[in-house]
Structure 1
Amino acid sequence: MLPDQFTPITDLLRLHARAGDKPAIIDGDTIITWAALDALVDRAAVALLNRGHGNSQFGGQCIAIAAGMSWAYLVLWLGALRAGLSVAPLPQSATEDTISMMAADADAVQLFRDAELASIDTWLAPVGTRAPDVAIGPDDSFNLIYSSGTTGRPKGIVQPHRQRWAHVQRGVTQGYGPDAVTLVATPLYSNTTLVSLFPTIGLGGTLVLLPKFSAEAFLQLSERYHVTHVMLVPVQYRRLMEFPDFDRFDLSSYRRKFCTSAPFPAALKAQVLARWPGGLTEYYGMTEGGGTCILQCHDHPDKLATVGQPAAGSDIRIINEAGEQLPAGATGEVVGRSPAMMTGYHKLPDATRGVEWFSPQGERFIRTGDIGRFDEDGFLTLLDRAKDVIISGGFNIYPIDIEQVLQTHPAIEDCAVVGVPSEQWGETPVAFVVAATPLDGVAVKQWLNDRLGKNQRVLDVIQIDQLPRSEIGKVLKRDLRDRYVAGQA
């Protein structure tokens, strides 16, 4: 049973260690039991303390990890937490210069790469070593998650222990617990992964690691280990639905599937609901925190075009460009607050202030940069990122409206709409589409524009092999815009 008061995740790990031989982590042929995990985490914590690291407070010591997914990665992370350090998980795929920049920005006392994790036994403290108790408070830094940098220099998002504690508490309502088996199929440096991973650890379940995603490997592990929970991004759901042998795998053990981090088309949600047992839950929120919306797709099949209703404890509002709160039904920027909020951007007070909005009562909210509106039932519909809204001839055009029409074309598998400069209109929309066979762009443009309002009509339809995406599935619209402007589309 989860304690009533804030408890650090590594203290919860101590409690679960009493389960002895119950698996905590399955990584290929390696199985780490809860008792073994607790002992390994002690050894990692002491090894870090012996190097003079530890006893972190906000702004205190931090280690950085830029490595592939593995059991050793998790042992190191948990060991650092037990030693009182914060962790900066960095994207291994970033350039060496970017990794070095992020590690330096995080004030990391040490950067761990694959080589160190592959030889973890050589630097762990001796077998049987027990870590001393280190006081950890709810406002101490748990980790620094670096933004993708798709819109500029990556920023370190400081997430406190209280934010992860809130995720563990929410996990109780989502069926996580000692009998849960969670398949980890997204990178460990992404908050998308962590909002599922840490509830599993905090509530004593089992993690099954899939370092390199493929539809077949995913389905094999799901069937073999009777997986109950998974967090995926929309592009992974699409690949699974398109996998020819999907329906021959036994997925009846699934209780809940989750999705976040990128737009999840309603038609794809409907496919998952129809073909995959268990509930489907979409989370909408930011790594910075500031409120979450939850759509229980299985309970609200008529609301699949929305991202759901505010979660318990989340206060989500809509404001206009002047920072004034708007009434229900109005369109504007989404702002939110909740117990799960970042402390701020690391060493960037101006950037932190730039994403804060304060209510007339002085309550602190986080600005999402997303444009949306609530319907009459309190479900939030997202229209677009504020920066992606196309202003054409003085009218706001929301690319998602055009993309939803394109998704109904029988030959189109994926699409994205961006605004490009126009001398006549300021900006005008251009559509990029992915299809299995060559398309007549002029014909598709005509088909599309016949179904759009006059102000929405696209200038061009460009067929490409695949949309550029970040590692967690977000379409890199700036890349598409730059390609078109450069004449390389």
Structure 2
Amino acid sequence: MSNSNNPPGAAVATADASVSTPVLAFEDREFTLAEVDAMAAGLAATLAQAGVGAGDRVALMSSNRPEFVVAVRAIWRLGAAVVLISPAWKRDEVAHALAVTAPVYAVGDSPVLGELAPMLHLDDPVAPGTGSHPEPDPAGEAVLVFSSGTTGMPKAVRHTHASFAAAVAHWKAALDLTGADRMQIVTPPSHILGLLNIATALDCGAWIRLHRRFDLDAMLHHIQADRITVEMAVAPIALAIASHPDLESYDLSSLRYIMWGATPVTPSVAERVTARTGVGWMPAYGASELPVIACNPIDGARLDSVGKPVPGVEVRITSLDTGEPVGNGEVGEIQTRSASLMAGYLPEDATTGAFVDGWYRTGDVGYLDADGWLRITDRLKEMIKVKGFQVAPAEIEAVLHGHPDVADCAVFGEPDPISGEAVVAAVLTANPVTAQALTEYVGERLATYKRLARVVFVSEIPRLPSGKVLRRELKERHGRTSDE
């Protein structure tokens, strides 16, 4: 970045040519950096007239469109913070987000947001503006993004201009991203990964296509037509690519790699895509609280690890029993610290317990091997305790994904009077298969205490846009209580 104190994504590549070169595409239109900045300057002036200033918060609830990018940059020009609200959220969820963050104004295209807060609609015409803007306070808030909300109501994760700029720098280095790269965004940019991809691409002058919504054929078509060099895929997208019947008909040769994030890689799915396309994967690991934690190298990536901690991020493993640091090869909670770490949560009391001596508790379970490769086994809160043994749902899911008749699956625990908890698999089938056959399949490959107690066949696996399984929702729909 040319100036680490600039708003993330505002200190774009310094070459003069980048100002007049297209950097953003949407449907059949392209925008240069000069056009984006002019629109951002105009919107910033409109927001300033509405009373928005440095240190304020502005809610943004938008569908995938260029105006999302413009709005973020406009808010940052004012030294204000953008509160990202998912366009998929319903009224109660939006009301919760507004109550937690208390924004002074709102921008978006959602009628729900417009009913709950004074809002500038993204369809309203705004005249382009000009002029420079002061650098924001590095310690001031830049973005508030909501946690995944797999348990309880979502918390707002607070990033400063300095912490998010550090995350952009880490991501740029991890991806080896340059102005020659071409990317596309098919997932909601209101998620931390979507925003990080946009900010990083603009920071280094890369070209980026924003899609209105996810459509697998459109994504594959544009890899071929736009000569995309870096593709992002969370678990549902990876599954969809692997099972596409006409995948070989697309020319994906421009891709340097596909990045797999948000959840641990399912090797059988990744290998199936590589076998059909010749394109390799680059696993990476991050969180809303610390956007870039670890990443595989571009050359020599491996599917059994999320990579090594990126330069500038420290990782340690602590005992699940004592909380004390453990050695290489020992499984425990993954803890991190970095300049890119969040400032805290809202509500503020949610921050209690999130840190230990300056280290952020990720809630993920895993280990570092002797060479520094990090492996994630599961979420601490999702571990299933069977007869005193810790069972990782992700391990069993990886096995089930290898079965030819399984399209998708998720594993959770339920109370059991003998074992403490029992292992249950929710399975979406690609072809007819029996519960007994799946139980035997897992039993042949994993230890006895990891054996499936029950299989439930479902019509869908509920997931967040990031790909994370909503296990709580599965338990509510298909789990049994201790009284049953």
For normalisation by structure 2, the TM-score amounts to: 0.91
Larger RCO of the pair (alpha carbons < 8 Å, separation 6+) = 2
Are the structure 2 counterparts of residues 16 and 114 from structure 1 closer, same or farther at C-alpha, using a change threshold of 3 Å? farther
Q: Distance in 2 between matches of 1:449 and 1:55?
A: 59
1:45-444 equivalent positions in 2, closer than 5 A: 45-56=44-55, 61-114=56-109, 116-121=120-125, 124=126, 126-127=127-128, 129-131=129-131, 133-170=133-170, 171-172=172-173, 174-276=175-277, 280-289=281-290, 292-296=293-297, 298-300=299-301, 303-320=302-319, 321-348=321-348, 350-358=349-357, 364-444=358-438
Q: Distance in 1 between matches of 2:289 and 2:425?
A: 30
What is the identity, as a one-letter code, of the residue corresponding to 1:473? G
Are the structure 2 counterparts of residues 465 and 147 from structure 1 closer, same or farther at C-alpha, using a change threshold of 3 Å? same
Q: Which runs of 5+ in 1 are unaligned?
A: 359-363
What is the identity, as a one-letter code, of the residue corresponding to 2:397? E
Q: Distance in 2 between matches of 1:279 and 1:406?
A: 22
Q: Distance in 1 between matches of 2:402 and 2:64?
A: 37
Instruction: Name the SS of the counterpart of 1:105 in structure 2.
Output: helix
Q: Distance in 1 between matches of 2:224 and 2:292?
A: 34
Q: How much does 1:413 deviate?
A: 2.4
Q: Distance in 2 between matches of 1:199 and 1:4?
A: 14
Q: Distance in 2 between matches of 1:413 and 1:347?
A: 39
Are the structure 2 counterparts of residues 411 and 472 from structure 1 closer, same or farther at C-alpha, using a change threshold of 3 Å? same
Q: Distance in 2 between matches of 1:443 and 1:268?
A: 20
Q: Is the 8 A contact 2:175 2:298 kept in 1?
A: no
What are the superposed Cα offsets for residues 358-393 of structure 1, whole Å, 9 maximum, x if unpaired?
1xxxxx111011111122322122111111111122
Asked if 1:26 corresponds to 2:25, the answer is yes
Are the structure 2 counterparts of residues 310 and 13 from structure 1 closer, same or farther at C-alpha, using a change threshold of 3 Å? closer
Q: How much does 1:140 deviate?
A: 1.7
Asked if 1:44 corresponds to 2:40, the answer is no
What is the identity, as a one-letter code, of the residue corresponding to 1:394? G
Q: Distance in 2 between matches of 1:172 and 1:311?
A: 8
Q: Is the 8 A contact 2:61 2:109 kept in 1?
A: yes
Q: Is the 8 A contact 2:409 2:461 kept in 1?
A: yes
What is the identity, as a one-letter code, of the residue corresponding to 2:356? W
Q: How much does 1:182 deviate?
A: 1.4
Structure-2 residue corresponding to 1:449: 443
Structure-2 residue corresponding to 1:361: none
What is the identity, as a one-letter code, of the residue corresponding to 2:193? T
Q: Distance in 2 between matches of 1:374 and 1:469?
A: 28
Instruction: Name the SS of the counterpart of 1:167 in structure 2.
Output: helix
How many equivalent pairs are there?
Answer: 470
Moved more, 223-232 or 42-51: 223-232
Alignment root-mean-square deviation, CA:
2.2
Are the structure 2 counterparts of residues 117 and 299 from structure 1 closer, same or farther at C-alpha, using a change threshold of 3 Å? farther
Q: Is the 8 A contact 1:288 1:341 kept in 2?
A: yes
Q: Distance in 2 between matches of 1:131 and 1:347?
A: 36
Among all aligned residue pairs of Structure 1 and Structure 2, give the percentage whose two residues are the same amino acid.
27
Instruction: Name the SS of the counterpart of 2:403 in structure 1.
Output: coil
Moved more, 284-293 or 464-473: 284-293
Are the structure 2 counterparts of residues 216 and 11 from structure 1 closer, same or farther at C-alpha, using a change threshold of 3 Å? closer
Q: Which runs of 5+ in 2 are unaligned?
A: 111-119
Q: Distance in 2 between matches of 1:456 and 1:416?
A: 14
Q: Distance in 2 between matches of 1:114 and 1:152?
A: 27
Q: Distance in 2 between matches of 1:172 and 1:335?
A: 22
What is the identity, as a one-letter code, of the residue corresponding to 2:67? A
What is the identity, as a one-letter code, of the residue corresponding to 1:309? K
Q: How much does 1:269 deviate?
A: 2.4
Q: Distance in 1 between matches of 2:213 and 2:363?
A: 31
Instruction: Name the SS of the counterpart of 1:12 in structure 2.
Output: coil
Q: Is the 8 A contact 2:3 2:11 kept in 1?
A: no
Are the structure 2 counterparts of residues 240 and 14 from structure 1 closer, same or farther at C-alpha, using a change threshold of 3 Å? closer
Q: How much does 1:307 deviate?
A: 1.4
Are the structure 2 counterparts of residues 55 and 455 from structure 1 closer, same or farther at C-alpha, using a change threshold of 3 Å? same
Instruction: Name the SS of the counterpart of 1:432 in structure 2.
Output: strand
Are the structure 2 counterparts of residues 256 and 438 from structure 1 closer, same or farther at C-alpha, using a change threshold of 3 Å? closer
Q: Is the 8 A contact 1:167 1:198 kept in 2?
A: no
Q: Distance in 2 between matches of 1:433 and 1:204?
A: 43
What are the superposed Cα offsets for residues 211-245 of structure 1, whole Å, 9 maximum, x if unpaired?
21111100112222111222221210221222122
Moved more, 262-271 or 231-240: 262-271
Q: Distance in 2 between matches of 1:237 and 1:447?
A: 23
Moved more, 145-154 or 283-292: 283-292
Q: Is the 8 A contact 2:150 2:471 kept in 1?
A: no
Q: Distance in 2 between matches of 1:131 and 1:102?
A: 33
